[in-house]
Structure 1
Amino acid sequence: MFNVNEFILKKADELGFGDVVALSYENRRRQVRFANNEITVAKFWHEKMVELFVEMDRRIAGTTITEVSRENIENTLKTLKANLENMAPKEDYYGIANGPFKYSDIPETFDKSIVELAEPNEYVETAINTALEEGAKRVAGVLYTDHNRIYLSTSTGVEAFDEGTGIEISVRAFIGDLESGHGTNSVRALKKFDPELAGRKAGEIAKLAQNPEQGPEGKFDVIFDPLAFANLLSYMSFMTSAYAAEAGFSFLVNKLGQKVANEIVTIKDVGNMPNGYGTRKFDDEGVPTKETTIIENGTFKTFLLNTSLGKKYGTETTANAGLMMPHAWNIVLEPGDYTKEELFSEIKRGIYITNVWYTRFQNYVAGDFSTIPRDGIFLVENGELRPIRNIRVSDNLQRILEGIKGLGKESYHIHWWEVDTPVSTPYVLVEDVGITRATK
């Protein structure tokens, strides 16, 4: 794939392009789906592609090349050039990072055992059996293994390679039509994979959720399970990009240096986190990834930046460059000092939400959103759980952050199709959360 990159850079130079980034991928992914306590589908994908960024006289564009023949590459570059010639310059474009850079190996991001794993079905069976033992009647979900190689070449002297693996499982356990639970586990090293944990949690929640009643409306103290709060933080991660702020999709606009959360809240992006599902050695410009504090003790410290945006705002890149815009790698909400039991003891009458989906923003700049709790939902009264259903969270993201009044001691790394940007978060207690009735 480096040969492909070299050919791209050579032809781009001949055509008169300035900055060029060729980011080639070779991905191997295996999927095992299961339903009604049995494996139903097994698939394998092996794909090669190139993500391409080009600049000419401050006009910029990007595309993805899935057919990596020389003829197609040349045609793609000629098409990009023709398109750029009809575009207006981006006057606030200030270039990409100048290489080369030195990179350090990041622990627990590549595991040969995952590459050589011949049969992942035993992990699926473990998850299914554990959920059934906890009281589930039906179990469904999906397991993935990944082996990825990344080849980066730029016109500014970067040539970098990274190789990673991953294995993750998403388990849903069911008892009846209204009782379900969800558990996940996502790791980069096989020795840390725990499908039993995912199955047990799914089964436990489903069992507790039997015979739910219509939930109440109003303002309630809410304990968000890590699976649920990771969803909100994953959406928030996009809003921490300077690109999102400039495009009008962030409640953090004009709030640098201001309090946007309770002082117990510190949120980081950690691109070089061991065992992090989004971890990479370098960003899309080749800058070595690192840890960036976004919110510190409640105060908003920085947007996520690439080289161009860093220069625009008189600072440096945060090593979060994507092909066209900065983005987070692994969002981390620093844990607190509560045990799970202590968090629940703080509530006299509140709600425990184990999972959410269909998170939608009515106003990105204001931060107004709604999301629908799914799987087990519980009314908490003096430490007792009573299953409820058919409610919606309708609130404001900054108010949620400001309303955090308790964080668990233990952190959980969450990644599944509703949490695209990986998030590490503890259990979170938020006061006065807006709860309305969900409409069918």
Structure 2
Amino acid sequence: MFDVNELILKKAKELGFGDVVVLSYEMNRRQVRFANNEVTVAKHWHERKVELFVEWEKRIAGTSITDLSEENIEKTLKTLKANLEKMKPKEDYYGIAEGPFKYKDIPETFDKAIVELDDPSEYVERAINAALEEGAKRVAGVLYTDHNKLYLTTSNGVEAFDEGTGIEISVRAFIGDLESGHGTNSVRVLKKFDPESAGRKAGEIAKLARNPEQGPEGRFDVIFDPLAFANLLSYMGWAFSAFAVEAGFSYFANKLDQKVASDIVTIKDIGNLPNGYATRKFDDEGVPTRETTLIENGVLKTYLFNTSLAKKYKRETTANAGLIAPRAWNIVLEPGDYTKDELFQEVKKGIYITNVWYTRFQNYMTGDFSTIPRDGIFLVENGELKPIRNIRVSDNMLRILQNVVALTKDLYHIHWWEVSRPVTTPYVLVKEVGITRATK
């Protein structure tokens, strides 16, 4: 793939492009789907593609190439050039990172055992059995294994390679039409994979959720399960991007060095997190990934920057460059000092939300949003759980951050299709969360 990169870079230079980033991928993915307690579908994908960024006289563009023939590469570059010639210059574009760089190996990001795994369905069976042992009647979900190779070449002297693996499972357990639970487990090395934990949690929640009643409306103290709060933090990862701030899609705009969250909230983005599902050695410009503190004790410390936006803000890149916009790698909410039991005992009357989906923003700039709890939802009274259903969280992201009052000691790494940006989070207690009745 480096030969393909060099060919694209050479052709781009011949056409007069300035900054060029060529990011090539080789991806192998396996999927095992299961329903009604048995495997139903097994698939395998192999894909090669190139992500391309080009600049010409401060006009910038990006595209993907899957047909890697020389003829198609030339055609794509000429089309990009023709399109750029019709565009206005982006006067606040300040270039890409100057290489070369040195990279360190990051622990627990590649495992040959995942590459050589013949049949992952045994892990599915283990997850199913764990859920059934907890009382589930039906179990469904999906398991993925990934093996990816990444080749980066830029016009500023970067040539870099990274290789990674991953295995993850998402399990839903059912008892009746209204009783379900969800559990996940996502790791980069096989020895840390624990499908039973996902199955057990899904089964436990489903068992507790029997015979739910209509939930109340109003403002309640809410315990967010890691699976649920990870969903909110994953969306928050985009709001930290300087690109989102510039584009008018961030409630963190104009809030640098200001209090935006509770004193106990510290949020980081860690691109070089061992065993992190999005961990990489370098960003899309080749800058070595690192740890960046975004919110420290409630204060917004920085946005996520690439080289160009960092220069505009007179800061250093945070090594979060995407081809066009900076993005988060692995969002981490630092833990607190509560056990899970202690956290639940704190709530005299509140709600425990185990999972959410359909998170939607009514206003990106203010942070107004709603999301629908799914699977087990419980009214919490003096530590006791009573199953409820048919509610919606309708609130504001900044108010959620400001109203965090307690965090557990244990952290959970979450990644599945509703949490596409990986998140590590504890259980979170938020006071006075807006709860409305969900419409059918």
Coarse TM-score class (shorter-chain normalised): over 0.9
Helix, strand or coil at the partner of 1:421: strand
1:371 matched residue in structure 2 = 371
1:296 matched residue in structure 2 = 296
2:93 matched residue in structure 1 = 93
Corresponding position: 1:212 with 2:212:
yes
2:423 matched residue in structure 1 = 423
1:187 matched residue in structure 2 = 187
RMSD: 0.3
Once residues 93 and 246 of structure 2 are traced to their aligned partners in structure 1, the CA distance between those partners, rounded to angstroms, is 13
* Letter paired with 2:418: E
2:140 matched residue in structure 1 = 140
- 1:266-304 deviations in Å (ceiling 9; x for gaps): 000000000000100000000000000000000000000
2:126 matched residue in structure 1 = 126
CA drift at 1:429: 0.2
1:360 matched residue in structure 2 = 360
Once residues 388 and 87 of structure 1 are traced to their aligned partners in structure 2, the CA distance between those partners, rounded to angstroms, is 54
Once residues 383 and 81 of structure 2 are traced to their aligned partners in structure 1, the CA distance between those partners, rounded to angstroms, is 64
2:399 matched residue in structure 1 = 399
* Letter paired with 2:162: D
1:81 matched residue in structure 2 = 81
Correspondences of 1:23-62 after superposition (within 5 Å): 23-62=23-62
Once residues 314 and 427 of structure 2 are traced to their aligned partners in structure 1, the CA distance between those partners, rounded to angstroms, is 37
- 1:21-53 deviations in Å (ceiling 9; x for gaps): 000000000000000001000000000000000
Helix, strand or coil at the partner of 1:53: strand
Once residues 57 and 200 of structure 1 are traced to their aligned partners in structure 2, the CA distance between those partners, rounded to angstroms, is 57
Once residues 202 and 114 of structure 2 are traced to their aligned partners in structure 1, the CA distance between those partners, rounded to angstroms, is 24
Correspondences of 1:7-406 after superposition (within 5 Å): 7-406=7-406
Once residues 333 and 405 of structure 1 are traced to their aligned partners in structure 2, the CA distance between those partners, rounded to angstroms, is 14
CA drift at 1:104: 0.1
Helix, strand or coil at the partner of 2:61: strand
Helix, strand or coil at the partner of 2:18: coil
Aligned length: 440
* Letter paired with 2:14: E
- 1:199-220 deviations in Å (ceiling 9; x for gaps): 0000000000000000000010
Normalised to the residue count of structure 2, the TM-score between the two structures is: 1.00
Once residues 271 and 48 of structure 1 are traced to their aligned partners in structure 2, the CA distance between those partners, rounded to angstroms, is 24
Helix, strand or coil at the partner of 2:151: strand
Instruction: State the identity as a percent.
Output: 81
Once residues 243 and 357 of structure 2 are traced to their aligned partners in structure 1, the CA distance between those partners, rounded to angstroms, is 25
Once residues 439 and 359 of structure 1 are traced to their aligned partners in structure 2, the CA distance between those partners, rounded to angstroms, is 15
Once residues 316 and 105 of structure 1 are traced to their aligned partners in structure 2, the CA distance between those partners, rounded to angstroms, is 23
Once residues 67 and 266 of structure 1 are traced to their aligned partners in structure 2, the CA distance between those partners, rounded to angstroms, is 44
CA drift at 1:58: 0.2
CA drift at 1:385: 0.2
Once residues 153 and 28 of structure 1 are traced to their aligned partners in structure 2, the CA distance between those partners, rounded to angstroms, is 21
CA drift at 1:315: 1.0
* Residue ranges of structure 1 left out of the alignment (5+ in a row): none
Once residues 12 and 382 of structure 1 are traced to their aligned partners in structure 2, the CA distance between those partners, rounded to angstroms, is 66
- 1:244-270 deviations in Å (ceiling 9; x for gaps): 011111100000011000000000000
* Residue ranges of structure 2 left out of the alignment (5+ in a row): none
Helix, strand or coil at the partner of 1:151: strand
- 1:173-193 deviations in Å (ceiling 9; x for gaps): 000000000000000000000
1:410 matched residue in structure 2 = 410
Once residues 163 and 32 of structure 1 are traced to their aligned partners in structure 2, the CA distance between those partners, rounded to angstroms, is 23
* Letter paired with 2:185: N
Once residues 74 and 5 of structure 2 are traced to their aligned partners in structure 1, the CA distance between those partners, rounded to angstroms, is 12
* Letter paired with 2:186: S
Helix, strand or coil at the partner of 1:72: helix
Off by >6 Å, runs of 4+ in structure 1:
none
Once residues 180 and 73 of structure 1 are traced to their aligned partners in structure 2, the CA distance between those partners, rounded to angstroms, is 49
